[in-house]
Structure 1
């Protein structure tokens, strides 16, 4: 199954250095049966895009956590990252109690060999992402202005990179 894993540039550096990346709480997003069932129309690509956007939103929370703990990427603390990976279905447990797109990855790590692509914000999104990181918790609690701020960041497409480009991406940022 194709997974969409929320991440940060710091996590990508770990992936490159160690050959695997810890997945925060083992949580990722996918086109689960529950997510597919919730859409009367739409092909698999559209449904996977919904899961991808959930991962991009979760990346905002990871960025906020890194900033709070002092572990944020030194040069680029406001770049969302989503890692697309293909893993066997047996390694996944749907978590509809959390959301229709949420899955738990057994083992809590993803290997470099399983990575299909990496998606990263370009420099032009930094201001929107910074504002969204500050607003995401308020948005989750129903603040409409904060939800609009988060939506502005989510409207910006992440750039796509093949997994083999990861070393160059991290060097050239």
Structure 2
């Protein structure tokens, strides 16, 4: 099962991978919410929702590390479970029950450095910055690039 893990730049530099948390995936609820989307569109929607959730991880980080990060990983379905009703604010949220090692990661999607100012402004409540951020595409990174990228955000 492909999951989209909201993360932060410093987490990419860890040797152990990513810890268990709420993540996003193409769920029956997401399919129901977006009935006209094909599989690729549903995966993109799950990725965007994970990017929104990554903002919650950035507030206490230094400005140079404030970029949205979404890690795409493939895990057995047994490692995810639905969340309780009312616990999730979007239909793509599932609970990851165990950590994800780097060997299970397919890639990461990360804001470009130029987005840092809009991330900071969005965290401060600037609606215009949030709109600009929503229009930005995340950049694709191969798993082999993630540790170096993570060290740049420290």
Question: TM-score scaled by structure 1?
Answer: 0.78
* Corresponding residue of 2:48: 53
Shift of 1:171: 5.3
Secondary structure in 2 aligned to 1:3? strand
Alignment of 1:1-173 (within 5 A): 1-14=1-14, 17-18=15-16, 20-23=17-20, 26-64=21-59, 67=60, 72=61, 74=62, 76-95=64-83, 97=85, 98=88, 99-107=90-98, 109-135=99-125, 146=127, 148-170=128-150
Structure 2 gap segments, 5+ residues each: none
Q: 2: CA distance between counterparts of 1:172 and 1:8?
A: 12
Number of positions where the alignment pairs a residue of Structure 1 with one of Structure 2: 150
1:53/1:155 CA distance change after superposition, 3 Å: same
Larger relative CO (CA 8 A, sep 6+): 1 or 2? 2
Q: 2: CA distance between counterparts of 1:170 and 1:9?
A: 5
Residues 110-166 of structure 1 deviation map (CA, whole Å, 9 limit, x = unaligned) = 11111000111111211111111222xxxxxxxxx73x5323212111110111222
Q: 2: CA distance between counterparts of 1:52 and 1:116?
A: 13
1:51/1:11 CA distance change after superposition, 3 Å: same
Q: Is contact 1:56–1:154 with CA below 8 Å preserved after alignment?
A: no
Q: Is contact 2:5–2:23 with CA below 8 Å preserved after alignment?
A: yes
**Per residue, is there more helix in 1 or in 2?**
1
Query: Could you say what the CA RMSD is over the residues aligned between the two structures, in angstroms?
Result: 2.0
Q: 2: CA distance between counterparts of 1:33 and 1:151?
A: 28
Q: 1: CA distance between counterparts of 2:19 and 2:79?
A: 14
1:102/1:96 CA distance change after superposition, 3 Å: farther
Structure 1 gap segments, 5+ residues each: 136-144
Q: 1: CA distance between counterparts of 2:131 and 2:144?
A: 30
Question: TM-score scaled by structure 2?
Answer: 0.87
